[in-house]
């Protein structure tokens, strides 16, 4: 939580793509909001290029890669300067693979911001095993910046399923909503039907369905109860629906400025980084997605 992040900074991965610049701008906004510094990191991955007999490549080739990396970082610094000219910004050009570079950078960071599409040193950062490894191993929450620049009046949306990681996500979401001075939308999808049709069909045969829904709503209220005193400024809207959490989160993310989810859970949020829920959020959410693990 932010109260334990004194002296930390926000990290953004830079690779020369427009998507990465979006992440840099988002990270700059967050750093300015939190009165933190911003660290811009570019990884020059020469190991895969040198693999398989390419050791004969001239030294100038690798220097050209580093020059491109420096140009990417300079462009990112320029983009930040236009938004927050007084923000403290540092840059780092590191020889290495993106995953270990980002994981190392996360050790003393408040959070890491990544674009939704990679290029250059961060090619494929959000596809396949690279995204899973980065988010799973990072020492801090990771934000995948998607969509247009978020509406500053939009709510923060959080997925709640009662698991320890869900509790961590909920704590972060409350603080994010408080920072922004916006509404918090707590979403609890408590059934696993594959479609709305199957949900409607099953509903016909459950006599006490309303009782079940009421209990689910009460359980969500209990999850939220402890945060009211700590964050009296945060207005909360509870969403309890019998449906897949993946679709519910995507639906309520429309118009939101941030979606917060845990990386492990049960039910629909279980195995967030391995199944369809993570793929849907990371690849289709209309706003940035903040992924939190229990230890964060």
Encode pLDDT of 198-224 as tens digits: 555 555 555 555 666 777 778 888 889
Rounded (5°) CA angle 190-191-192:
130
Q: Which of 90, 112, 145 is the last residue of a domain?
A: 145
Q: In 10 A of CB 88, how many CB atoms?
A: 12
Which helix (H) or strand (E) element contains residue 89?
strand 89-95
Q: Which of 145, 169, 197 is the last residue of a domain?
A: 145
Q: Do 7 and 136 have their domain in common?
A: yes
Q: Do 85 and 37 have their domain in common?
A: yes
Q: Which of 110, 145, 180 is the last residue of a domain?
A: 145
Residue with tokens 């967030």, as numbered in its chain: 272
Q: Do 170 and 207 have their domain in common?
A: yes
**Is 189 within a domain?**
yes
Of 114, 180, 107, give the one whose Cα is nearest residue 139.
107
Average per-residue pLDDT in the chain? 81
- Which CATH number do you get for residue 283? 3.40.50.12370
pLDDT score of 265:
39
Q: Do 98 and 183 have their domain in common?
A: no
Q: Do 161 and 48 have their domain in common?
A: no
Number of domains in the chain: 2
Length of the chain: 296
Question: β-pairing, 9-13 with 37-44?
Answer: parallel
Encode pLDDT of 42-95 as tens digits: 998 776 555 555 555 677 878 888 999 999 999 999 999 999 999 999 999 999
- The separation between the first and the last C-alpha atoms of the chain, rounded to the nearest angstrom, is 7
State which residues form the domain around 231.
Answer: 156-292
Q: Which burial class, exposed, middle or buried, applies to 179 when counting CB atoms under 10 A from its CB (0-12, 13-18, 19+)? A: middle
Encode pLDDT of 183-205 as tens digits: 999 998 776 554 555 555 555 55
In the DSSP assignment, the letter for residue 161 is -
**Is 275 within a domain?**
yes
Q: Do 168 and 43 have their domain in common?
A: no
| Spatial separation of the C-alpha atoms in residues 203 and 170, rounded to whole Å | 29
What does the pLDDT average to over 23-44?
95
**Is 199 within a domain?**
yes
Residue 46 contacts residue 65 (beta carbons within 8 Å): yes
Q: Do 136 and 161 have their domain in common?
A: no
pTM of the model: 0.83
**Is 150 within a domain?**
no
């Amino acid at each position: 939580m932010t109260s334990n992040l004194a002296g930390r900074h926000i990290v953004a991965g830079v690779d020369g793509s427009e998507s990465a610049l979006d992440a840099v701008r988002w990270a700059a906004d967050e750093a300015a909001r939190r009165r933190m510094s911003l660290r811009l990191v570019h990884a020059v991955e020469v190991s895969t290029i040198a693999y398989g007999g390419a050791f004969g490549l001239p030294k100038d080739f690798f220097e050209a890669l580093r020059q491109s990396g420096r140009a990417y970082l300079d462009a990112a610094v320029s983009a930040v300067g236009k938004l927050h000219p007084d923000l403290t910004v540092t840059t780092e050009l590191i020889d290495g693979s993106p995953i270990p570079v980002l994981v190392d950078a996360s050790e003393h960071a408040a959070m890491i911001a990544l674009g939704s599409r990679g290029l250059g040193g961060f090619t494929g950062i959000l596809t396949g095993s690279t995204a899973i490894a980065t988010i799973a191993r990072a020492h801090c929450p990771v934000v995948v910046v998607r969509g247009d620049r978020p509406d500053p009046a939009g709510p923060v949306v959080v997925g709640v399923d009662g698991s320890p990681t869900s509790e961590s996500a909920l704590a972060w979401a409350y603080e994010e909503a408080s920072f922004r001075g916006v509404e918090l939308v707590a979403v609890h999808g408590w059934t696993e039907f594959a479609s709305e049709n199957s949900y409607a069909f099953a509903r016909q045969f459950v006599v006490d369905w309303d009782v079940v829904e009421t209990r689910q709503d009460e359980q969500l209220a209990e999850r939220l109860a402890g945060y009211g005193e700590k964050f009296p400024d945060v207005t909360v809207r509870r969403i309890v629906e019998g449906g897949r959490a993946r679709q519910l989160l995507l639906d309520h993310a429309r118009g939101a400025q941030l979606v917060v989810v845990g990386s492990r859970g049960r039910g629909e949020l279980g195995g967030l980084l391995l199944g369809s829920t993570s793929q849907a959020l990371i690849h289709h959410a209309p706003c940035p997605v903040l992924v939190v693990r229990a230890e964060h």
